[in-house]
Amino acid sequence: MESCPFLIGGDWLQPKLASTPVFNPSTGEVIAECPAGGIAEVNAVVDAAQTAFPGWMETPPVERARILARFKMLLEENFEDIVRCNTRENGKTLVESRGDVKRGMEVVEFALGVPSLMMGQILENVARGIDCEAMRQPLGVCAGITPFNFPAMVPLWMYPIAIACGNTFVLKPSEKVPLTAIKIVRLLEKAGLPRGVMNIVHGGREVVDALLTHPKVKAISFVGSTPIAKYIYEVGTKHGKRVQSNGGAKNFTLIMPDADTDNSVRGVIEGAFGCAGERCMAGSTAVIVGAAEKTVLPVLVEATRRIKVGPTDREAQPDMGPLITRQHRDRVLELIEAGVKEGAKIPADGRGVKVKEAPDGFFVGATILDGVQNGMTVAREEIFGPVLNVMRMDDLDAAIEMANKSAYGNGASIFTRSGKAAREFKHRINCGMVGINIGVPASMAWFPFNGWNDSFFGDLHMQGVEGVQFFTQQKVTTSRWFSYGEGDIWHKE
């Protein structure tokens, strides 16, 4: 059993509190107990962060960047250890966990440029003898509330940029996957981060609400489901905080009649079933346009049936791992059944998958629901599992019109050889991240993670320059200096 301590002002503490189990999803075994904090623990971590803020704010940006440079080096040195911890508590394959950690490390790389990213502006003689300058300063104590599906990457979306900009930080990782976050933050400490700049608190809704309402917390970053994302935004902003709140999605992948069959099928498979479908950028709906039904769909079904499901916590690796908990697995199975009852066909059925070497793991096989219509439950709700909806449309116009009816707006992709079709799709599709012959159009660290509509609540997205803008506030100074003998400030005797 591993421990899940709090980090409060530089001290790792293991309070005796009620706890929730942390599972190895591949086996169903409990590998840790995560303590559930409350208002007292939130007050302690926020006070510690507030105490550390003045000194950290005054630390030159180049010195903050040097600490992050050492942090990145330690991440590289401990890469495989982090990867295996990630896989053990989340269930990703080792390949997927490596991608999770690498994408987080790219945000650290971006944050190393903070001396340039925080540069302000100046204009001389905005009026005669008057100069004006704008500078960026940190906000204070910032908090991050993160989900289970990317234990490394999502927290690293947040705090490297926040602390590079001079803020202090409180992280509340998902109680389902706290171990990877703890392991990474220990490396940040080892890199030389001062006590209290980074803090960790564990818990559920009581901790979340305490962070949302705490007067010393200036900004909240969140990733999770849309209903909770909306709640986080509404409560946080009501209490005067900046909020960036990423929600869920239903992402569409259009396959045109001229698409390359092998590449499009590979892109759809990766988008729908990578990370067992547990990601907000999952391409959960394939829209087969026109004659692509005859060329692509049979190959897609056969490729889905070949996906090997199994435990990921050992050297022999499957194509796809388990879901995060038994309860979530059962919810996914319920949604598949709802799709069948509402009229969808099921040419690839993962409900009865058996994994002999890990009979107690939380497995669902890769599943295709064919003939899905807009009004169905599976078309409206985010399944967050290895389930691909297949819809058919006569042409590109109809496909775009249908996709644009979705309340969400994270990502959408098109597979085609036509530049005209690609440009039309890019221009008209109603979402923030677009892929052209790309299965998962998630943006890199130098660009914003750019959800729209019910996939994002806030004004400034995570990552990139928008991340820097979110974690800083501008101060504008207008100045005039008189010469001797001018005005009434100085005069000669």
Neighbours of 194 (CB within 10 A): 15
Distance CA 309, CA 449 (A): 30
Cβ atoms of 121 and 134 within 8 Å: the answer is: yes
Distance CA 322, CA 285 (A): 21
Would you state the structure tokens that stand for residue 180, as one six-digit string? Answer: 């990877």
Q: Please say if 280 is a catalytic residue.
A: yes
**Phi, psi at residue 78, to the nearest 5°?**
-105, 20
Catalytic residue among 165, 275, 280, 431: 280
- Beta pairing partners, 34: 20
Residues carrying an active site annotation:
280
